[in-house]
Every structure is written in structure tokens, then in C-alpha cells.
Amino acid sequence: MKRSPLVVLTLLALFASPAVVQAARNCGTCAKSIKGRYITSGNKAYCSQTCFVTTLDECDHCGIKLKSRYITSEKKKFCSNACLESILPQCEICEKPLIRRHTIKGHVFCDLHAKSPRCTACQLPFLRGGELPDLRYVCETCNEIVIYNMEEAMKLFRLARQELYQITARKSRQIPKLKIVGRDRLNKLTNLRVDQQDGMQLNGFYHRTETTRTSRNGFGKTTTAKKVEKTIYILYALSPDTFLTTAVHEFTHDMIAEFFPHLDGLPLWAEEGICQYVAVLLCRKRNFSEQLESIQTSPDRIYGDGYRYFEKKLGPNNWSGLLQWMKRTDPKKLPAAAPK
């Protein structure tokens, strides 16, 4: 048998006690018993508009009570587009409020600006900046501090030599020549040695040639003279911190050649790994956090894997451990690729 709703209501009125009816009609906010007209929402009743409105969520920006229509974004609620946009992160270049954002090194950009050219020094897109002769870009801020001229470069170059000496207690007597070059020139030089299929961009290069001349003197005795030419190439428009880190890396190549001749013929990963390990010692000492991170997280299988091999083997800040390794190691016994 099917009962009509009217019948059910009548039955309730007959059997329910008055207390139960009263409890069901208390205001969900002020708890006063409700008489006459009231508002329901969910399964609660409210005595007045004021009591009802206090139960509503507030706009996460302006605090206004949210009526039936509102906007949600990342678990927050907003009364209007204006309120939503006011809390959205803005593109650091065009200041557009962003629902979809690109984060580059902790900075936020819109689609367009995330794709625009990036500064060679800070690696960020920029509002004002310029193109360099080697087709890299530099932003206006970095342009003030990056190294262009030989005088500034030489100061840091000498400092790097000093830093390497403090870290390793080794300093070669013949200081390499310094040449400041563009990306085009540096890529040509490094392509002689490094297969850059991983897209690794180098900031410096150590070049060394040894020539031996044999001559016979008037008494028929032979004399041999060894001539060593050493050049460190460093990319222009590096920040001072990156310049110093790069120079210490390149000076480490020089130190290996001068003080550990038995390591001639080290696989590239081991040679570069040693240089990066020493560069990291400098970064820690000087709190160069960006340079440190870029060395530690490099995906390159020579520079990145090489560094991580030594980090894993020696732990951090272990020059004496590295020194022992260099003294004991026979380069011919090392694998061609960095062990992982």
C-alpha cells in the first residue's frame, strides 16, 4: 500500500512528542527555538537571514560572505574574479595574474615570458636586456655585474689561483694565460674534447701543450728543453661567482697536470669529476649556492656523473680523501664511463 505524504505528516504530528518537534526547530546558529518563518540549508534550520549568513564561507581575499555563486581555485574560494586575481601570482615581467604559471628558479612567469630569451647569467627571462655578440642574452640587472673586461677578469683569476692554493696547498709556478672568449669560440675549443650531446654548456676550458726540443751542443751532447704552454679560456659575461667557480675548476686541471703527471690519460669523467669536486669545495666555502646546486644536479654523464662519483666515494669537504685517491689511482684501471 502506498501512503500519500500528507498521511505521513499527520502520523508524525500524532505520535511525536512536543519536545522532539521543538528540538528539530532550533536555530542552527543562535539555538533559539524557531517560531514562524525560518530558513533551511542542508538539514539545519535558521531563525533569521543574519543567523543563516554567519554559516556561509567567506571569500578568501575580501572576507565577504559567499552566496550561491563563487569561484574556487586551489582549495580557496573567492566572491569574484577580481578577488581571485588579486591573490594569484603575477608574471614577474608583464604582471599578468596567472592561473597557469611557469616557475623558473623560484620565479613566476606567464606562458609567453617563460618562452622568451633568458639571461645567460641568472638564466631568467627578462624585461630589459640585450643580446651579446655571441648571441647570448644578458638582463639589465646582471649586465651591471657580469665580467666583460680583462682587468676585472684578472682580479678574479688571481683570486681563483689563491683559493685553489688554500684548498689544495698546491700552486703551479707557471700561471696559465687567461683568455676571455664568447660562446662561439669556447664551443669550438671544447668540441675538440667533449662530445656535447647532452647539451652541457661549458663556461671554461683548460688547454695545455708540451713541446720538447732536442738539440746537440758543440761537444756532441744532446740537451732537451721542454716548453709548456697553458691557457685558461673563460666565457665572458659570467657573474663574478660563476667566474670564480669556473676559474677554480680550470686551475684544478692545471694542478692535475703539474702535480700528478701519472694521472695523464684519466678518463674524462674522472678528470672533470675531480675539477668539479674542487669547485664544490670553493662553492661551500663561499656559499655559492646556485653554482653548487648546478654542479651537483648536472645531468651530464661526464661532469654530473663524474662529480657524483667522488661525492659518493669521499663525502663532502674531503680534499685529503681526494688527494689520496689521486696519489693511488692508476688511470688505466678506471672504467671509460663514470660508475654509478
Give the residues lining the site for Zn ion (CB under 5 A). Answer: 27, 29-30, 47, 51, 59, 61-62, 64, 79, 83, 91, 93-94, 110, 113, 119, 121-122, 139, 142, 272, 275
With helix as H, strand as E and coil as C, how does 84-146 read?
Answer: HHHHCCECCCCCCECCCCEEECCEEECHHHHCCCEECCCCCECCCEEECCCCCEEEHHHHCCC
- Assess contact for 234 and 249: CB atoms under 8 A: no
d(CA 63, CA 244): 51
d(CA 64, CA 177): 69
User: Which residue number, 79 or 160, has a Cβ lying nearer to Zn ion?
Assistant: 79
**Shortest separation between residue 221's beta carbon and Zn ion, angstroms:** 40
**Shortest separation between residue 149's beta carbon and Zn ion, angstroms:** 18
User: Which residue number, 139 or 180, has a Cβ lying nearer to Zn ion?
Assistant: 139
User: Which residue number, 10 or 41, has a Cβ lying nearer to Zn ion?
Assistant: 41
d(CA 92, CA 107): 7
**Shortest separation between residue 318's beta carbon and Zn ion, angstroms:** 20
User: Which residue number, 122 or 234, has a Cβ lying nearer to Zn ion?
Assistant: 122
**Shortest separation between residue 315's beta carbon and Zn ion, angstroms:** 22
Q: List the one residue out of 2, 21, 23, 1 whose CA is nearest residue 12.
A: 21
User: Which residue number, 93 or 160, has a Cβ lying nearer to Zn ion?
Assistant: 93
User: What is the enclosing helix (H) or strand (E) of 227?
Assistant: strand 222-235
- Assess contact for 83 and 63: CB atoms under 8 A: no
Beta-strand runs (E) in 42-92: 44-46, 71-73, 76-78
**Shortest separation between residue 16's beta carbon and Zn ion, angstroms:** 23
**Shortest separation between residue 263's beta carbon and Zn ion, angstroms:** 14
Does residue 195 come out as left (phi exceeding 0), alpha (psi in the -120 to 50 range) or beta?
A: beta
